[in-house]
Amino acid sequence: MNYQVLVNNAKAFAAKLWKDEAGQDLVEYALIVAAVGLALITTVNQLTQAVVSLYQSMTQGLGSIGTQQ
């Protein structure tokens, strides 16, 4: 094969790869899933702290029932 033909084929292949967007959707979906997962982890951690605080408040309130103040 001619050297010029190889160079032209390589250029055409590189241009095709540069313009190809076939894998772009998969990367975008993966980033969305990662962002949603991070948001869920953060929310669950904050919710856990709120539930623990509420439970401690309830147990303290129930513990004081029947005691003289």
Task: Note the residue count of the chain.
Answer: 69
Report the candidate in 35, 15, 33, 36 with the shortest Cα–Cα distance to residue 25: 33
Q: What is the pLDDT of residues 46-57, one digit of tens each?
A: 899 889 999 999
- Whole-angstrom Cα distance, residue 51 to residue 49? 6
Locate 45 and state its tokens.
């951690």
pLDDT for 25 equals: 79
Q: Average pLDDT for residues 38-64, to the nearest whole number?
A: 90
Measured distance CA(46)–CA(19) in Å, rounded: 43
